[in-house]
Chains A and B, each alone.
Chain A
């Protein structure tokens, strides 16, 4: 589904990703872990197409297409979804209205029929079930005045409605208390599907207690320095990131 090959990315003149490679297949859940500054969020932003990220080398193939050539909205229509670390507030734009406009824009781009407001509301009601998102948030402006936890849950809710093929969660766990974390994890688990892949970007292992990944990758200094199964996250938790560096000094320095 997604094949990242030797990706080099510069931000504001500084190289952040230095030859990152990663393959993600449909149905898989990959966790990307790593210390601050390793380039985790950069990866998410590059995949979603944020401005200011310059790809100097390497490639990203998604469903056989060159993902990097697509505009952000075309990526969304193709099924790429980024749950933002810091979702922006958009004053005056109604949350429900926004989501319907986004869903219909995507459906239109894919040649599918757009949903009328009745169908859409039905969908929203259905997806809201079990989301524990206060219904009144749907009538507020996008992210405006939402608490940190509400913003994150709103991102997961958007994901549930938009049903992406590849969901990238950028530190969705940060700043959440344990209850909110569980709710977010439940939301994600409910969406696990053989046709859908997840990339979980996280600093801490605790999210992975609730969403058990198929693969864990450790990102350090702009590339993947170690990959393994879910157990790798526990070892990291036990030993810290320094442990990876010590174990793989030769590779990390290469």
Chain B
């Protein structure tokens, strides 16, 4: 008797649980982008003049650029004039105590309670709702340790000298089309500064929520770890279910000075669109870390289950001698999701090391691409890289693609790349089922095993969350 592919079609319609809309009064700029919009946005955020000018420079350059076409993505052209570049809840809170209860309720529903009694233990959260931060928890505790953790808008006002020194120093305004757009119109995001020698006493996390319709979210995050400092940061993202495609174009810059250690984890669960490919977030993100000092370390971990389109390559510039870069990724595409994601490891310093682990899972009509560059410059004596890319196919109509680029200019470097593509074997499924597990459980167990290496890199609570997310995202994949 053949293993029957149990009918899981009903599960296909399982809802995206973060797909609700919060009914709240919003202050939204009308759609469209020009210099007036940038002035208006900058004014709303009470920014200093240098910031406004910085935005305008980026905008003027952006006008000369065209969207990148090299990714293996099928995207309808985006009308940048149809997007609203600013949306914020009308009542701007002064502190968490003043935050609109509806917003608090929103974050409760998303499993990120902000209020005092239910906060996640040991995790400070900055909650960004559409274009603005609505509050940051554990500020006092962090301040005592000397850590600055606040919204980007606040940092521009309160810590201009640090922001000016580092903003755009890793991802310049002109870096690429989406980074230039972000530099012109970025709304909010998180700012983290860990001073010399400080180990951040708790996990820091930002929760990004797109709520308003017809808006884009352009967050900008900057994390600076001074000499010997260390921090672990996590971001989570969700959005309501809508038929339209919404744009999310973020820039994240990490700077690690001598012996500093930054661990950046992402659990991305933007609305992926429905089975027909209607709606969903277009996620175009530029994330880059600069290991500026000797013996510094930056590690990216990402679990990407959401978004209709994902275009992101969290990268490391290994400038300092003996600096270390890591990229651990799980990307899942189901239904008609498309992901083109990977990393760049640019080895410049001596004895630099990088490690890449990428796990792609394609189901339904999902298209999943790993694209990565490992570049060993002439100066990077004894550089080492190891890359492992595995793809898992579930179903006949999906695609899994691997495009690694390796460029080596130093004869003492060793660069290794391995990739495999396979489907879940009937053998494994049968083994699990003959021990009593139903097919769905068996698949999720095998997929979880496939991703184990990456989940291990996530902070405990988020590893559990990521695993659940993967299970939900895969529902209905077999059938």
Contact = CB atoms under 8 A, between A and B. Distances in A.
Interface of A: 46, 48-55, 68, 71-73, 75-77, 81-82, 84, 87-88, 90-94, 98-99, 101-103, 105-106, 109, 141-142, 158, 162
A140 B15 CA distance: 35
Contact of B434 (A68, A75, A98, A101): A75
Nearest to A90: B428
A84 to B, nearest CB: 7
Contacts of B6: 71
A92 B437 CA distance: 17
B445 interface: yes
Chain B interface size band reads 20 to 34
A142 B425 CA distance: 14
Contact of B435 (A68, A102, A141): A102
26 contacts: A48-B430, A49-B1, A50-B434, A51-B1, A71-B6, A72-B430, A73-B433, A73-B438, A73-B439, A76-B433, A87-B431, A88-B427, A90-B428, A91-B449, A92-B453, A93-B445, A93-B446, A93-B448, A94-B449, A101-B445, A102-B432, A102-B435, A103-B436, A105-B437, A105-B441, A162-B436
A71 B2 CA distance: 9
A90 B222 CA distance: 40
B4 A76 contact: no
Interface in B1-58: 1-4, 6
Nearest to A103: B436
Given A51-B426, A90-B446, A92-B453, A101 B431 contact: no
A98 B445 contact: yes
A75 B431 CA distance: 12
A158 B379 CA distance: 55
Most buried by B among A73, A75, A109: A73
Contacts, number: 101
A48 B427 CA distance: 13
A227 B446 CA distance: 42
A76 B438 CA distance: 10
Most buried by B among A52, A75, A82, A105: A105
Interface in B401-451: 425-428, 430-439, 441, 445-446, 448-451
Given A88-B425, A90-B449, A92-B448, A76 B434 contact: yes
B164 to A, nearest CB: 46
A198 to B, nearest CB: 17
B435 A158 contact: yes
B20 to A, nearest CB: 31
A48 B2 CA distance: 11
Contacts of A84: 431
A84 B432 CA distance: 12
A92 B434 contact: no
Contacts of A75: 434
A102 to B, nearest CB: 4
Contacts of A53: 1-2
Nearest to B431: A88
Contacts of A99: 435
Given A101-B437, A103-B436, A92 B451 contact: yes
Interface in B339-356: none
B449 A93 contact: yes
B390 to A, nearest CB: 9
Given A51-B2, A68-B1, A91 B436 contact: no
Given A49-B3, A73-B438, A91 B433 contact: no
Contacts of B441: 101, 105
B452 interface: yes
A53 B432 CA distance: 18
Given A51-B1, A90-B432, 9 more contacts: A49-B3, A71-B3, A72-B433, A73-B433, A81-B434, A88-B431, A90-B445, A109-B436, A142-B449
The 10 closest A-B pairs by CB, nearest first: A92-B449, A93-B449, A92-B452, A76-B436, A72-B433, A106-B436, A102-B435, A51-B3, A51-B2, A88-B427
A68 B431 CA distance: 17
Given A51-B426, A52-B2, A53-B1, A72 B434 contact: yes
Nearest to B390: A91
B434 A48 contact: yes
Contacts of B1: 46, 49, 51, 53-55, 68
A9 to B, nearest CB: 10
Given A51-B430, A84-B431, A101-B445, A77 B436 contact: yes
Most buried by B among A55, A99, A142: A142
Contacts of A158: 435
A52 B426 CA distance: 10
A75 B6 CA distance: 15
A14 to B, nearest CB: 16
A163 B435 CA distance: 11
Given A82-B434, A105-B436, A158-B435, A72 B3 contact: yes
A159 B426 CA distance: 22
Interface string B88-117: 000000000000000000000000000000
Contacts of A162: 435-436
B314 to A, nearest CB: 23
Contacts of B427: 88
B138 to A, nearest CB: 31
Given A50-B430, A51-B3, A98-B445, A92 B450 contact: yes
A49 B436 contact: no
